Copies of this chain bind each other. A is one copy, B any other.
Amino acid sequence: MPTIQDVAKHAGVSVATVSRVLNNPSSVAELTRKKVELSIQELDYSPNILGRNLRNAKSRMLLVLLPKISNQFYLKIVEGIEEKALEYGYNILLCQTHSKLEREKVYFDLLKNQLAAGAITMDPTIDRKTLINIAKRYPFVQCSEYVNAKNLPYVTIDSELAAYQVTKYLLKQGHQRIGLINVSEYFLYARDRKKGYLRALEEFHIEPEEGWFYSANDVSLESGQQVMRSLLNKKQDLTAVFAVSDMLAIGALKELNTRGIDVPNEMAVVGFDKIEFTSITYPSLTTVAQPMYKMGEISVDMLIKKIQGEKVEDIVLEHELIIREST
């Protein structure tokens, strides 16, 4: 790689002039500029981002931290983020944390080192205190899953309410014994959705039994299938299940289909998120639509504001119950 020095020498000017041509062309005489531009072309020079960022202490990259891209839920969010980021002239870097602290730390270091101008996280694993500290110094926004604290802005939906509504819908359909396929209650959305589910049951004076609760190891088709398997083996006479994620619901559906259990007549199933594949399952899946794309766009808006030093408010977006064939 040629450096700015090489270009300067080749064009017979100083490095400062080359730098000016790069960053503020109008401050350089027409003739000099042409000369420099020609040299840049001939040498196929492109500025070294490290040197530049080191000096400027800023970059045009945004970090996007998510647990795993295998969860379709993040797809549309990332699309929204990318589109919006591009509008602002930023590029994004996708980072899988696997909800593991060590991995997350590597990416936070990128942020600390000015390799990225800011970060959007969809699943903060790091402890609350450290997170607050990081957010104090670096532009930082939470999307979907979040930690509630001052100065840690987030965009999300009302999970508790959505879960309440979807459970109530099942109850109104006449279901009396409704299972819950959840994930680790380490996650806020898991706790919230469980709360909503319980609130609906309570309203209908139904006391949930212990055998109604299931927890998946992770958010994947396979885990969904596995949970449904153990659920069926327990013979709890459930007539419906509410899975807190479409991935789990689709996995569950697969197990039901394999066993020849009729959905929705023998077992109704609802999911959460409205990922694309929910429309092609058999039967198509009733679910709660999250405004994923919009969430992505908004998190970028918020992040850019943060970068520019403005204040940003938390945002809670609307969800929507999508009723289809599985109920």
Contact = CB atoms under 8 A, between A and B. Distances in A.
Interface string A103-121: 1001101101111000000
A13 interface: no
Given A51-B54, A93-B95, A109-B46, A75 B70 contact: yes
Contacts of A282: 257, 281-282
A221 B92 CA distance: 25
Contacts of A82: 96
A219 interface: no
B114 A50 contact: yes
Interface stretch (A19-27, A192-200, A209-217, A272-280): A272-280
Q: Which of A49, A91, A93, A280 has the most CB of B within 10 A?
A: A280
B46 A54 contact: no
A46 B112 contact: yes
Interface in A72-110: 75, 78-79, 82, 91-96, 103, 106-107, 109-110
Contacts of A112: 1, 46, 48
Nearest to A109: B46
Contacts of A91: 103, 106-107
A11 interface: no
A53 interface: yes
Specify the main secondary structure of chain A where it touches its partner: helix
Contacts of A227: none
Number of copies: 2
Contacts of A50: 50, 53-54, 113-115
Nearest to A79: B70
Contacts of A1: 112-113, 137
A251 B280 CA distance: 8
Q: Which of A49, A70, A254 has the most CB of B within 10 A?
A: A49
A250 interface: yes
A126 interface: no
A253 interface: yes
A304 to B, nearest CB: 18
Interface in A249-274: 250-251, 253-254, 257
Contacts of A96: 78, 82, 92, 94
Contacts of A115: 49-50, 115
A92 B95 CA distance: 8
A16 interface: no
A198 B195 CA distance: 58
A70 B73 CA distance: 11
Contact of A48 (B69, B113, B254): B113
19 contacts: A1-B137, A48-B54, A48-B114, A49-B109, A49-B110, A49-B115, A50-B54, A50-B114, A51-B54, A54-B54, A69-B69, A69-B75, A69-B78, A70-B75, A70-B79, A221-B280, A251-B280, A253-B280, A254-B279
